[in-house]
Amino acid sequence: MIKNLNKTKEIVFRRPSIRHLLAPAPVSGIEQVMCAKLLGVIFQQNLSFDDQVDVVLRTCSQRVYLLKLLRDQGIPQHNMDIVFHAMVLSKIRYALCVWGGHITADQKNRLNALLRRVYKYRFISDTYDIDSMLSDIDTKLFKKMRNGYHCINFLLPSNKSSVYDLRERMHDYELPTWQSNIFRNSFVVRCLYRFK
């Protein structure tokens, strides 16, 4: 594979609250960046998703203005719901299982405030919130990935070797131990503990 060095970036991930940052020297000819966009998701070197939430909110706010213009033109409510799902909700839900578990309560409040505002001005007929959307997406994807043929099934740990079957569980996988919230809030570990 031939790499285009003009389009290649290097990002060094580090702990969010590290006191002494020992960043390695950049690779010659490759720019070292603090954040990088990968498949539409902005990853930051401190493993936070502040920039991702800011971009989602900015884009969705612009699209909400379009909803206002459509409503002023007399578009029926059913069609407004379709446009909202296609233009706003799809932007929020895109890769939510990747970044949704890592956002702060303040960031969730900002996203929920946008969704409440859209409902308040009757651009949509139903209410939405980030926690319920994240829960729905986690449930659907976790059920699919438990299928042995799913492309991310290899991320699941091995099955428990316990002989006790005291209650019905959604899965029989070993629960990994975790020492950081970043690992605990990642999609697979989050689902393993939620559906144990």
d(CA 93, CA 133): 7
Rounded to the nearest integer, the mean pLDDT of the chain is 86
- The 3-class SS string of the chain reads CCCCCCCCEEECCCCCCCCCCCCCCCCCCCEEECEEEECCEEEECCCCCHHHHHHHHHHHHHHHHHHHHHHHCCCCHHHHHHHHHHHHHHHHHCCHHHHHHHCCHHHHHHHHHHHHHHHHCCCCCCCCCHHHHHHHHHHHHHHHHCCCCCCCHHHCCCECCCCCCCCCCCCCECCCCCCCHHHHCCHHHHHHHHCC
Which of these ranges, 62-66, 109-113, 154-158, has the smallest mean pLDDT? 154-158
- Identify residue 70 by its one-letter amino acid code: L
Place 118 in a pLDDT band, splitting at 50, 70 and 90. very high
Query: Does residue 142 register a pLDDT over 70?
Result: yes
Place 21 in a pLDDT band, splitting at 50, 70 and 90. low
Place 57 in a pLDDT band, splitting at 50, 70 and 90. very high
142 touches 195 (CB < 8 A): yes
Region 90-99 average pLDDT: 92
d(CA 186, CA 148): 21
Query: Does residue 26 register a pLDDT over 80?
Result: no
Region 79-103 average pLDDT: 92
d(CA 155, CA 54): 29
d(CA 22, CA 174): 35
160 touches 174 (CB < 8 A): yes
